[in-house]
Structure 1
């Protein structure tokens, strides 16, 4: 199960499939546009290229479209929107990272095959291959190759459309074409070069009468070629992209790389790309025997998730990946809490880069804290290239009314979310050097923020955090959100712990940090005492945590009805403008806390809070279902857990939220992997650093297999109904079903 296939062409569905068929390599992405259609929204992104020109906030720039190509038969452009196709098919091969298309145009006597890839080996290269076959046609075909420099941002929001770049230079490469643009605010230069090769069945050139023209801002080259009956011709399109972020001379680099690409050949680069893809899949693949839908779904989500991973420690992954304009390419808590665990356990070098992005934007976090009257580092709710807050101030509610967006002001838990990812990275990888050079600094500076953000309640002798938004965004301006308070406490205590950890290992480094951050050991020791007095709301000191102070006093609605997709339906008498006054929640909040810090809570607490809050959750975020799925598996609600898992897998494949056209739900994909790894395989790491497996498989699953890295060693874990098979390259310990096992090097079989 390696292919996502589209076999019925409906132009109205193009925008959805553009997301599903996006190809990316962590550096550049190209939407899966139908180049022979007039119904498409071309999006070309390079990670880290943001600009704010005439926009409400900086956004990931939609760069020129290098895929411009037209075919003319009898001087009419081929447009599949208006031509009868005898056969149509597009196939995304997840294993190879190749998108293939087939168009049989019987009225023209032609069939066109195409394939494209964005190289995972040479990140600046994109290759496209077209094979034009005669099925009765004989005559002249005009090929038009161009770079579209008219692209703009906010294609699905035309009232806010803006072009973030200005044209610097276009021209002919003899053969080939190029375009150089420069963003207005950030002054990034982007150079794109493209060239065609065409061969017939005798492998000789068939591109004749080259003509270079400039149509408006678009460099264009046209060729004439001839096709005989029952024969075929092949056109190769080579594209290279460089920017001033990685090169001082992006134009020269782009042209040089194009020449090398053409000389090396399309097929050679494709082969290298596929080898690189195989190497990645060797580490990230999940196999599920007995459930073909789950198998394809998890591979689809994994493919698009790792497609966003960059080797660049100055960029991260936006909420919609590199696949669309949703959330303007901004980075949220989604990255550390939902996506990061996948990379941590399967591609740890990429996980490290995600954390280094936060370190490299630490100055921006410090500016955020200072701008709001606090100390230390406060990470932005929405971050772009420098870490300063870039959340829009205004949006629309469920009724389409303009509303003030308060998340930048109040959804501050992201600061602790990042600290959690840092500590988890250290536990799983054992990377002491990272903690010495980067991690401890972030922990101390984020703790410093929390200390300044706390308010002391003299009457109650406790510390509080007022006027915040937790993960559940239905409720704003609340006091003592339990998720926020608990994580703030945890963050401060971890800073205290790692301060003393560094003191034992590198006193010189610690001395420098104390000077840099303006802290003293006396102050650090006070932090621990303050943290212990942070208020954690509970229902009458019982098992049930109160989402925030006063939550249990709100009007109580319980979800009782569901739509045809099994999603909750709003209660009939509910006023959507007054969600704040109800106990209905958007997504897990208390449940999220328990999942993030599982060792802090008992089984009874997990079960009690899961059952209470599940009945009040509307799942209005794609982040919701995977988390309830994991918790369902932990507390024995396996039927609901499996159903939630399948809905998670299909969020984009079936467009269940109706917004897949805006980009890939990257955090949901990370959540899907977590359901497999932390839910069905039962993998978790205790706070004492022990690796634990407590698996459960659905009845119809025969086997689940995945690989994780633990302390730098790959472990292949295969779960069956009655045994677990663990393949290890060295000896290590693991706890399975509460029993400690010492793994030997090689294959270990454990009965369960």
Structure 2
């Protein structure tokens, strides 16, 4: 089925809805507020779909939803579960057909595929397969430990004939081995001896979730996108080869299964093996299953099968227990440098670590992939990457794992050719225009007013490169890749903008971050970020010429850069129109925003939110109403360009007209509220973000987590309560302590140092954990950490 444009005739990125206006979420009392794990103490069918998302395992490449190894029994209601395994960046394509066409509209959609379920293991007693829907569950517990990265489950079950089993399983997706996952299923008869069969196979007949008319929860494609290209069943191993229908990628799914603790008769199946053995009461038989995925998007097509087999053989040779130990060791290193500690609220502590853990599981680390809005946990937004990466997710990795941040920027460099082609389609003779939503670089937004019109994505990418340079001093990256990205994308502003009769540089017919206001002139956020972008591009070109003349010459020759363009960027930046209303003392969201009628919030029933699902886009566009932070986001990103009074007035005005119908909004309002002294509001907005997925407050986490909001939780601690800012003026903090906390701690990598900030009621301790020297400021008081002053106590919090 082709991708039809009508399904996007609503504001994009609309899966995220305001907490106050969504149906009451299904509560999860089984998830106790434990600081280092999530634990499920009962198998509740009403929560299964949600918990499949929460218990997802991933490594930035493989994502394996938390469905049981045995699958679900016949009692599972349709739509009540999603058996999903995903590979970050692995996708098929479909042609977008428009009932009414126009030049330059996006032509091809890219969508993430559900790949074969290789973890399937079925235990059969007296012909009755074990499932949670059949027989009787006598005891149950499932736990995902953030320190080990292992999903564990213990079940005691009684068959229809009264035979009792204990089944204990462990599962992991290897963080060190990109292509590998593994699981262990231990089966212990409790009250009988007799034959037990364990089936270990690959379910290759998978399809994507059908979204129907709702593009937020899946794909419009019908039927399988993977076509069988071959299947080999060996003595204990299986190799399934498939090819995508349109994108042409070859996929290999390989497994190897080993049974210990019993002498088994092994029978080949169509895509697996059956292990039949004489089970004895109290004696445990253990099946280990090793899994590898590889595709021609990752390795040469001729090597896909051999690469999967080699990864599989190496994993089996290491053994399951060794993989578990390596996983825990890898995560120990991560938490040692990235952990955020909240003293005084276990539920919040759980939420913060859960979010960090899922960000780590979802982010691509290979320079060829990014992080999707739903990570690798579900099919919402079809696996597309957005600007969420650069503005929300990137800072978390920049200050916790800078090498991952660099890889995310490398991805943008990797898709520059497609961005250049898109710029030509949009009538720009020079430069590159990054897509609004994409996987492999093509623009996939079928609704251009809320998608393609958001030109600010170019500035968002440039902003992240600027922050990367400030935080790492890695000018090698700038010389090799960053300068080309920043200069090519900055050119777009010269082609897009123009000077008005007053000599002001104006940028017309664009959409800012607020998707309830589309196709406007001089969106404040866009113009302010474009000014930053062009200034940064010009400064970087000058520095490159002075410090790296060979690289400067290479870039100039490669993109045909002229000095006149650099001069034009500086002139446009200096003359940029930044709308401001003198009477109200606020920065106008755009030229027309304040002239529109305010939305009638008092007269809008709660069941009419989110607005985009109940009102035509034009109705929304004609009103003064915001879906999410727009001007308020500029207050954060360009913090030193505004006075505290400016920020307070802007916050007050835009808070009153913002619905927060996007999960990208609350964390930004929390940070700015903390800065302007609105402590209660800062905390309330923060709490809307921190446990959004664990508590399913937007009632849609079953379709995937909200990675931007997860990263927004880290931003809320570091940028919000910690008051952290990094710009050309240096690194500074202005920490405050929420009334409900006893204290908090977080760490940041910056300029070759690892800094710990520990805040309590009396002040803050700044501790240099690694590095020789670091200059910073605390509430405006400058100081330096270094030899002899590795820890400094700063009193008198503001």
TM-score range, shorter chain: over 0.9
- CA–CA distance in structure 1, aligned partners of residues 273 and 584 of structure 2: 73
SS in 1 for 2:673: helix
Q: Does 1:245 align with 2:297?
A: yes
- CA–CA distance in structure 2, aligned partners of residues 47 and 411 of structure 1: 24
Question: What does residue 210 of structure 1 align with?
Answer: 266
Question: What does residue 204 of structure 2 align with?
Answer: 149
The verdict on how the C-alpha distance between 1:707 and 1:159 changes in structure 2, with shifts beyond 3 A counting, is: closer
Q: Does 1:610 align with 2:666?
A: no
Question: What does residue 555 of structure 2 align with?
Answer: 513
Q: Does 1:592 align with 2:647?
A: no
Question: What does residue 566 of structure 2 align with?
Answer: 524
Question: What does residue 377 of structure 1 align with?
Answer: 432
- State which of 661, 667, 680 in structure 1 corresponds to 2:702: 661
The verdict on how the C-alpha distance between 1:294 and 1:361 changes in structure 2, with shifts beyond 3 A counting, is: same
- CA–CA distance in structure 2, aligned partners of residues 721 and 635 of structure 1: 19
Deviations along 1:517-561, one digit per CA (max 9) or x if unpaired, are 222213311321122222211113763011111111111247569
What pairs with 1:280-299 in structure 2 (closer than 5 Å)? 280-299=334-353
The verdict on how the C-alpha distance between 1:568 and 1:720 changes in structure 2, with shifts beyond 3 A counting, is: farther
Gaps of 5+ in 2: 1-34, 97-107, 213-218
Q: Does 1:261 align with 2:315?
A: yes
- State which of 502, 513, 521 in structure 1 corresponds to 2:544: 502
Question: What does residue 712 of structure 1 align with?
Answer: 752
Deviations along 1:164-189, one digit per CA (max 9) or x if unpaired, are 22111112121222211122333322
Please tell me whether the aligned partners of residues 673 and 682 of structure 2 are also in contact (alpha carbons under 8 angstroms).
yes
Please tell me the root mean square deviation across aligned C-alpha atoms, in Å.
Answer: 2.3
Deviations along 1:361-389, one digit per CA (max 9) or x if unpaired, are 1111111111010131111101211x221
Q: Does 1:683 align with 2:724?
A: yes
- State which of 95, 98, 114 in structure 1 corresponds to 2:150: 98
Question: What does residue 236 of structure 2 align with?
Answer: 175
- State which of 103, 114, 136 in structure 2 corresponds to 1:84: 136
Q: Does 1:227 align with 2:279?
A: yes
Q: Does 1:482 align with 2:543?
A: no
Q: Which moved more, 1:537-546 or 1:667-676?
A: 537-546
Q: Does 1:342 align with 2:396?
A: yes
Question: What does residue 470 of structure 2 align with?
Answer: 427
Deviations along 1:64-84, one digit per CA (max 9) or x if unpaired, are 111122121111222212333
The verdict on how the C-alpha distance between 1:675 and 1:251 changes in structure 2, with shifts beyond 3 A counting, is: same
Question: What does residue 416 of structure 1 align with?
Answer: 459
SS in 1 for 2:292: strand
Deviations along 1:628-674, one digit per CA (max 9) or x if unpaired, are 11111011111111121112012111111122122111111111110
Question: What does residue 328 of structure 2 align with?
Answer: 274
The verdict on how the C-alpha distance between 1:499 and 1:441 changes in structure 2, with shifts beyond 3 A counting, is: same
**Structure with the larger RCO, 1 or 2 (CA within 8 Å, 6+ apart):** 2
Please tell me whether the aligned partners of residues 568 and 619 of structure 1 are also in contact (alpha carbons under 8 angstroms).
no
The verdict on how the C-alpha distance between 1:73 and 1:629 changes in structure 2, with shifts beyond 3 A counting, is: same
Q: Does 1:192 align with 2:192?
A: no
Question: What does residue 748 of structure 1 align with?
Answer: 792
What pairs with 1:554-703 in structure 2 (closer than 5 Å)? 554-557=596-599, 578-688=619-729, 690-703=730-743
Number of aligned residues? 727
Q: Which moved more, 1:732-741 or 1:154-163?
A: 154-163
Question: What does residue 160 of structure 1 align with?
Answer: 221
SS in 1 for 2:391: helix
- CA–CA distance in structure 2, aligned partners of residues 261 and 442 of structure 1: 38
Q: Which moved more, 1:329-338 or 1:514-523?
A: 514-523
- CA–CA distance in structure 1, aligned partners of residues 470 and 68 of structure 2: 45
Please tell me whether the aligned partners of residues 467 and 727 of structure 2 are also in contact (alpha carbons under 8 angstroms).
no
Residue 575 of structure 1: CA displacement?
8.4
- State which of 535, 543, 546 in structure 1 corresponds to 2:588: 546
- CA–CA distance in structure 2, aligned partners of residues 266 and 372 of structure 1: 52
Gaps of 5+ in 1: 394-403
What pairs with 1:727-738 in structure 2 (closer than 5 Å)? 727-728=767-768, 729=770, 730-738=772-780
SS in 2 for 1:230: coil
Please tell me whether the aligned partners of residues 598 and 624 of structure 2 are also in contact (alpha carbons under 8 angstroms).
yes
Runs (4+) of structure 1 exceeding 6 A deviation are 560-565, 567-571, 573-577
SS in 2 for 1:679: helix
Q: Which moved more, 1:423-432 or 1:255-264?
A: 255-264
Residue 136 of structure 1: CA displacement?
1.6
Please tell me whether the aligned partners of residues 390 and 461 of structure 2 are also in contact (alpha carbons under 8 angstroms).
yes
Question: What does residue 138 of structure 1 align with?
Answer: 193
Q: Does 1:456 align with 2:499?
A: yes
- CA–CA distance in structure 2, aligned partners of residues 180 and 53 of structure 1: 21
- CA–CA distance in structure 2, aligned partners of residues 703 and 558 of structure 1: 41
TM-score by length of 2: 0.87
Question: What does residue 109 of structure 2 align with?
Answer: 57
Q: Does 1:439 align with 2:482?
A: yes
